Structure 1
Amino acid sequence: MSRIQNRLLAAARTPISYSQTTLQCIRPFSQTCSRHDEPKRPPSLLSMLSRSAQSSQSRGPPRPGPGGDMSALQRILAQDAVLGARNLPTMTEQILGENQNEAKEDWGPANEPFHFHIYAHKHNCHITVTKPNRNAIISKSAGDIGFKKAKRSTYDAAYQLTAYIIDKLHQGNWHKNITALEVVLRGFGAGREAATKVLLGTEGRMLRDKIVKVSDSTRLKFGGTRSPKPRRLG
């Protein structure tokens, strides 16, 4: 046996004495890895609300009156219900906005408006709402909301489709983010007039004041191949 092997065997036979400091430092490798690999969870909404309630309590005593015994957390939730009914930003949204560290999505140039595309042809109606960078927010057709076959080309189908799109924008709070809106019309189907009626009616009151431009992108034919023979009825 060589000298190096003898030294290794002798070192392996000698008992290792662990001091108290050494024992404190020794821990399983798996626990160390799992502790470092665990992602930092963001604070929950309940913890942020309770933290805000504690800060509001530290600022001053609760207001006297019939609701004086109500906790600060309950007062915040009650105020959120009132603000939400008035379509105003709630305290919960403000707390989430203050604690959100993620970068806001780049929507494109600041001078570019949002776009409300209405494509109405004789068989169907398509509506697409896009951001200034041309990324779609929502895109639906009359067939997507339950109209089938020939009913997709009717005035009523386009009317209900436009009202559905506007309702989805309200549910996603996009009416608060949209500052300027361009309406783009294409085609001469029945949906053209129906979508215009919705935007000018009660359903479009939240978006009507933000319309800055109305444009027409209907395709026009110049030359090209011969058109098909017109259909004859009767």
Structure 2
Amino acid sequence: MTPSTTRLLAKTTSKLSSLSLRPNQQSTRAFSQTCLRQQEERPPAARISLLSKLASEAQLRSAPPRQSGMADIKHVLASTTISRALNQSNDSILGESEGKTENWGPANEPFHFHIFAHRHNTHITVTKPNRNAIVSMSAGNIGFKKTKRGSYDAAYQLCAYVLDKLNQGGWHRKITSLEVVLRGFGAGREAATKVLLGNEGRLLRPHIKRVSDGTRLKFGGTRSPKPRRLG
């Protein structure tokens, strides 16, 4: 290849490169004006959808990186637990609503703590002034069977259990006056008295205003069976 040919090829290459790298200003201006005209000719709905799409893409770019699936589940469970704890109602364990909204009867009538102790079992019932029961249980409800239900230990545990349920339900704050009604002469009579005077009854003991005996006495009535004669 001669030097003149080489020089000619170099000039041609430089011209082509200058043409490819240097943009035509008229063509660029015409293209930009065409784009603007197309945007103006678009209907408003299409323009709004385009803007919303661009905004959503910008939010996705600016959002922090997403955590793992297990972390999301833990976060949801924790927030649910906290909201339940904050919105939890103060209903008592015994299923009673707030006492201020319920009519308990006469204001001068006390609550009643009934203890029915006989030879075979012990029954404890706590009632409101209107005689509606708050809790009613016997020794069989806490696991004692057959002859053990009439024992001293069964009555003691029963009375302690009932007092604990009342304290958990917040009734020691609602009860202003309490009357203890004893009935029968079984082993539970002495056991319940010991519990009320002990550590278990320290929250309700200051509210006890009266102790009465409701044992039923027989006046006349049916004829007694013929006494057994031996010999």
- TM-score grouping bracket, smaller chain normalisation: 0.5 to 0.7
Cα deviation 1:91-135 (Å, max 9, x = unaligned): x96xxxxxx999701111111100000000111000000000000
Who is 2:104 aligned against? 107
- Deviation of 1:224 after TM superposition, in Å, equals 1.2
How many Å separate the matches in 1 of 2:98 and 2:156? 40
- Secondary structure class of the residue paired with 1:115: strand
Instruction: Specify the alignment match of 1:203 in structure 2.
Output: 200
Q: Distance in 2 between matches of 1:117 and 1:102?
A: 21
Partner of 2:216: 219
For normalisation by structure 1, the TM-score amounts to 0.55
1:122 paired residue number = 119
- Asked if residue 181 in structure 1 is aligned to residue 154 in structure 2, the reply is no
Separation in 1, partners of 2:137, 2:180: 16
CA-to-partner distance for each residue in 1:16-72, whole Å, 9 max, x for gaps? Answer: xxxxxxxxxxxxxxxxxxxxxxxxxxxxx949969xxxxxxxxxxxxxxxxxxxxxx
For these two proteins, the number of residue pairs brought into alignment is: 142
Which residue identity lines up with residue 122 of structure 1 in the other structure? Answer: R
Partner of 1:218: helix, strand, or coil?
coil
User: Is the contact between residue 152 and residue 191 of structure 2 (CA under 8 Å) also seen in structure 1?
Assistant: yes
Code of the aligned partner of 2:167: H
TM superposition outliers: structure 1 runs of 4+ over 3 Å:
45-50, 100-103, 228-232
Task: State the alpha-carbon separation in 1 of the partners of residues 84 and 108 from structure 2.
Answer: 39
Are residues 48 and 123 of structure 1, via their aligned partners in 2, closer, same or farther at CA, if it must alter by over 3 Å?
closer
**One-letter amino acid matched to 1:211:** I
Match of 2:140 in 1: 143
| Offset from partner CA, 1:158-209 (integer Å, 9 cap, x none) | 0000000000001110111001000000000000000000000000000111
Partner of 1:132: 129
Report the 3-state secondary structure (helix = DSSP H, G, I; strand = E; otherwise coil) of the residue aligned with 1:209: helix
When Rg is computed on C-alpha atoms for both structures, the one with the higher figure is 2
- Structure having the larger proportion of residues in helix: 2
Look up the equivalent residue of 1:220 and give its one-letter code: L
